[in-house]
Amino acid sequence: MTQTSSALAAFETDYRRHKTRARVTFWTVALSIMTLVLITAEFANFFSITQVTLADGSRAERWILLAGLPRLGEYVAKTIPELGWATIGQDLTHWFWRWPIWMELLLETILIAFMATVLGVAGGFLLSFPAARNLSPRPWMVWVSRRYLEIARTVPELVWALIFVFCFGVGPMAGVLAIALHCTGSLGKLYSEANENIDMRPVEGIRAAGGSWFDQMRYGVVPQVLPNTLSYTLLRFEINVRSSSIIGFVGAGGLGQELRTAVSLQEYTDLSALFLIIFAAVFVIDWASEKLRHRVIGLERI
């Protein structure tokens, strides 16, 4: 009896200690996050005061968030075009008034994404073999190819686009190269991780049969990683369509340049029309590539 009660008492003290420690950890983490939030919020102008014009024309000081919200609503409201049931055809042509140019640019956007994906897949796939620790012929190749891939994907496409627009001139070529470079970095990393997770036995078999390094990669690794690679590639194509739709902002081709003009000329209804076009295109491509991806994965299972 006394044994059980002493054991119970030990448990109770242990439990209490554990609880106290958990509470202390919780409050330390919570307080440090709160402090960080306050510091970063101050840094990000969250607490600044701005001037607004009231209805009677006088100026007043307001907290920036409250002052901005009505403006946000106003802005969004302005982008909604006037559509009437009776004049729907006329209104729609008025809304999408530049549709021949927009359709051309949409095609260009998708082709930029296509080409960038092809180039990115080529680069990423080639580099994924030296970047995989288990496959690389030399250790220094791992280091070099990994650093290259890291830099390629850390620097955003828009920054590469700014650089390439200077080098190759304004136009879709700069956009293709910028997205392709970024895509090489992301895909190379994913592919090399897939390469590191393979079963090494086929590779060893080919090496034992006297196959060269290329033979080992072609017949030992590629058949294992191909379904994964295809799936990543399709996913990346979707991401690239999104990127290529905004890359025109810095003059690298695609719909982004129209978006930029619409913003700077304050063509509000054009903005909503362009959003709708991009949204529809991205939606259709996502849907189609998801279907294709499921087919690829399904084939792999059979």
Partner 1 sequence: MSNVSTSSLPASIELARLKAEMPLAFRAPFRVRLRRALGWTGFALVFGWCLYDFDFSPSRIVEGLGRLGTVLSFMFPPHIWTEWDQLSEVLKGLGETLAMAFLGTLLGAVVAVPLSLLGAKNINRLPFLRFGVRRGFDVIRAFETLILALIFIRAFGLGPLAGVLAIAVGEIGVLGKLYAEAIENTSKKPVDGVTAAGGSWLQSIHFGVMPQAIPVILSITLYNFESNVRSGTILGIVGAGGIGFLLSDRIRAYRWDEAWSIIILIVVMVYVIDALSAIIRMRLIGTEPGRRSSP
Regarding 75 and contact with partner 1 (CB under 8 A), the answer is: yes
Which of 230, 259, 273, 277 lies at the binding interface for partner 1 (CB under 8 A)?
A: 259
Residue with the two structure tokens 């006329």: 90
Taken in order 245, 249, 253, 257, the sign of the CA dihedral is positive
User: Which string of x and - marks every residue 34-63 that binds partner 1 (by CB under 8 A)?
Assistant: --xx-xxx-xxxx-x-x-------------
Regarding 239 and contact with partner 1 (CB under 8 A), the answer is: yes
Nearer to partner 1, 6 or 48 (CB): 48
User: Which string of x and - marks every residue 191-210 that binds partner 1 (by CB under 8 A)?
Assistant: --x---------------xx
Least distance CB 51 / partner 1 (angstroms): 11
Tokens of 273: 């029309």
- What Cα–Cα distance (Å) separates residue 283 from each residue in 186, 238, 242, 278? 22, 9, 10, 8
Least distance CB 112 / partner 1 (angstroms): 8
Binding residues for partner 1 restricted to 143-172, rule: CB under 8 A: 150-151, 153-159, 162-164, 166-169, 171-172
Residue with the two structure tokens 């044994």: 3
Least distance CB 280 / partner 1 (angstroms): 10
Regarding 246 and contact with partner 1 (CB under 8 A), the answer is: yes
Measured distance CA(194)–CA(200) in Å, rounded? 12
59-63/49-53 β-pairing: antiparallel
Q: How far apart are the first and last CA of the chain?
A: 64
Percentages helix, strand, coil for the chain (3-state, rounded to 5) are 80, 5, 15
Binding residues for partner 1 restricted to 77-116, rule: CB under 8 A: 108, 111-112, 114-115
Regarding 275 and contact with partner 1 (CB under 8 A), the answer is: yes
Residue with the two structure tokens 């690239």: 240
The DSSP-derived string for 94-110 is HHTTTHHHHHHHHHHHH
Helix-helix angle 99-131:139-154, to 10 degrees: 160
Site residues, partner 1 (CB under 8 A): 33, 36-37, 39-41, 43-46, 48, 50, 64-65, 68-69, 71-72, 75-76, 108, 111-112, 114-115, 118, 150-151, 153-159, 162-164, 166-169, 171-173, 176, 186, 189-190, 193, 209-211, 215, 232, 235, 239, 242, 245-246, 249-250, 253, 259, 263, 275, 278-279, 282-283
